[in-house]
Chain A
């Protein structure tokens, strides 16, 4: 009897399976993505807008689990079951896919001309000839604050380091709010929202980043150690037990109104707007002394490429051209405040907090995260080590100088220009 049931079930499932494949015959584009968070935005806004203009093409947005995305995508590409359009991580992860022939070159795509070289830099071969993903969005780092908390402590929005620490001291002394919402349990918070948030002011953005790649600066230089020194001072302003505080904990701590200042990435904006019931504002990473030039991390984060083995190449190109258009940029940026378009066309943002973040592009110089381009290609991995070092420094387990030396030794062990 058991046997029969199994057989029936097997048959049923096979029939079900083949029915599905038959249905997908026309030009249906499937998008691989890690952005679970955006599912409803794609389904309700972006895809309908595209399909209305291109009646022959259907689009399916099929995100997988964010943490598993790279592993899942690589397996699917290798076995040939990946979707037509591939959401691209910046730099090496996608470059490796291009090198293996899984992503198509987009050099001849019309729409690629709508982007500046900086925007394209995250998804282009080292020789600059073959772009392989259309830049979709960047994220900007800074600090989001609870306006009530600053008013409560009687401090104004800090513009330099001294003011930042004065403000943190005042909030701590008043005792109604945890001065800063950040934890070290998940590690990346400390590196991304900590080190790479405040760092560009010290290493002067692109200037320092490129010097590191060329080998003319070292991670033991003052410009690269100083941000760690500031991070080490943050410890006193974090909540009790920050060692076990996870990233969602930090978000909740801030949106529940228990913390004053949140070292942030702009992607937080839509979630915070939804969950916080107090007035928020944002400031760019405070400079060392008033009058210094300010730098921000304006990091190229999401792109969209084409599966080299897609059967719907023409439809996919149509979609990519549309993604390069001003229409998409404005649609996407306003649906997802905090993910800023990279297209050269100016876009008007309706969200005030997002507008504040993007306004820094006007007064500060932009750079991307220091570890992303080239420097994380070897073992030990500089990005993973930076996570570890940022945490160790904040906890006080490692001195800023020792952290710098450890990272430099690791990098120099495989990266020629640093040897």
Chain B
């Protein structure tokens, strides 16, 4: 509604010029963003020699080949790997978002002794790569019998994702109006309800953003699946695809196919979250 009034006010030619310029920039950048992706996709449907003979050409009757996808289907249980990746990613994500939002709320909302220190402490984790703690983490998992379980991965990724989530979410929490929360308090809502009913819906866009940032490194991680859960039953997609990258010989068809397939689930998750983002914002604006 607001937008329409804007438009009717500015002269038509200037308005359409601006729109064309915006489209031009966005299309240019979209091409830059997608070009390598398209190269990967078209080459995943070509025979190995054709990939390197002419990487830019589309597969034709001579070069078209599903060999990569066939190899992927034959070698290992990729359906299971996808399932493992999804379980790990979604569970860690849920924990990161819930626990992260709770902690961020406490830090942003209440004044208490040690607030700043706690905030800094919870942010330390983004400053040191968690890989360094590998041996200690593995020892812990061995001691608790969690090696080769998805739980081990979920715990590690939750810990890994929390600092960034808290860092970003507390910044967003500070932007939520105090009047609203105080009104809630006057109405007799408990602090938990204020968090759950008032604040969480309002920071949905931020939650969606954090969800996207958190999910990508988890989905693509090779290191912890390799160390904590390398068994056939707990392999993730990224680890499964690693089978095709040998010491000397890399099966590029299979690597491209398996990793192209691996984009899809994350893309779907991304679409879900970005819809949440828009929805959350529009809902907030209406209120």
Residues of A within 8 A of B (CB): 2-3, 5-6, 9-10, 12-14, 16-18, 20-21, 34-37, 39-40, 62-66, 68, 72, 75-76, 78-81, 248, 251-252, 256, 267-268, 270-271, 275
Knowing A5-B94, A9-B87, A76-B138, say if A14 contacts B151 (CB, 8 Å). Answer: yes
Contact assessment for A17 and B227 in the assembled complex, using a CB-CB cutoff below 8 Å: no
B93 vs chain A, min Cβ distance (A): 10
Known: A6-B94, A275-B48. A37 touches B248 (CB 8 A): yes
Of residues 95 through 112 on chain B, the ones whose CB sits less than 8 Å from some CB of chain A are: 95, 98
State whether A72 and B249 are in contact (beta carbons under 8 Å apart), knowing that A13-B87, A13-B149 are contacts in the complex.
no
Place the interface of chain B in its size category. Answer: 35 or more
Which residues of the partner chain B approach A80 to less than 8 Å between Cβ atoms?
A: 139, 142
What residue in chain A is nearest B249 (Cβ atoms)? Answer: A271
A12-B48 Cα distance, complex, nearest whole Å: 40
Inter-chain contact B142/A65, CB cutoff 8 Å:
no
CB neighbours (8 Å) of B257 from chain A are none
List of A residues within 8 angstroms of B267 by Cβ: none
Q: Is the CB of A16 within 8 A of B150?
A: yes
User: Chain B interface mostly helix, strand, loop or mixed?
Assistant: helix
The reply to whether A256 and B52 form a contact with Cβ atoms under 8 Å apart is yes
Assess whether B156 is interfacial by the CB under 8 Å rule.
Answer: no
| Contacting residue for A37 out of B53, B90, B226, B247, CB 8 A | B247
Contact A2 B246 (CB under 8 A): no
Residues in A neighbouring B242, C-beta threshold 8 A: 36, 64-65
Q: Quick one: which of B49, B53, B148, B247 contacts A36, CB cutoff 8 A?
A: B247
Q: B190 → chain A, closest Cβ, in Å?
A: 18
| Contact between B145 and A21, CB atoms less than 8 A apart | yes
Whether A275 and B98, one on each chain, are in contact in the complex, defined by CB atoms closer than 8 angstroms, is no
Contacts between chains A and B (CB distance < 8 A), count: 113
- Residue in contact with A76 in the complex, picked from B53, B154, B227, B244, CB distance below 8 Å: B227
When C-beta atoms are compared, the residue in chain A nearest to B147 turns out to be A81
B84: nearest chain-A partner, CB-CB: A13
Q: Which of B160-168, B181-189, B230-238 contacts A (4 or more CB under 8 A)?
A: B230-238
A68 vs B225: C-alpha distance when bound (angstroms):
12
Partner of B150, one of A17, A18, A275: A17
| B148 engages A17 (CB within 8 Å) | yes
- Contact indicator per residue, chain B 64-84, by CB within 8 Å of chain A (1) or not (0): 000000000001000000000
Whether the Cβ atoms of B230 and A62 lie closer than 8 Å is yes
Chain B residues near A10 (CB-CB < 8 A): 91, 151, 154
CB distance from B227 to the nearest CB of A (A): 6
A-chain residues with CB within 8 Å of residue B252 when the two chains form the complex? 248
Contact of B49 among A5, A66, A256 (CB under 8 A): A256
Q: Is the C-beta of B135 less than 8 angstroms from some C-beta in chain A? A: yes
**Which 9 pairs show the lowest CB-CB distances between chains A and B?**
A17-B149, A37-B246, A13-B150, A79-B138, A66-B247, A271-B249, A79-B139, A36-B246, A9-B91
Knowing A9-B91, A65-B226, the reply to whether A75 touches B247 (Cβ < 8 A) is no
Residue of B nearest to A35 (CB): B247
Q: Tell me if A75 and B151 are in contact (CB < 8 A).
A: no
Residues of B near A16 (CB, < 8 A) are 149-150, 233-234
Report whether A68 and B248 are in contact in the complex, using a CB–CB cutoff of 8 Å: no
Cα separation A47 to B268 with both chains bound (whole Å): 41
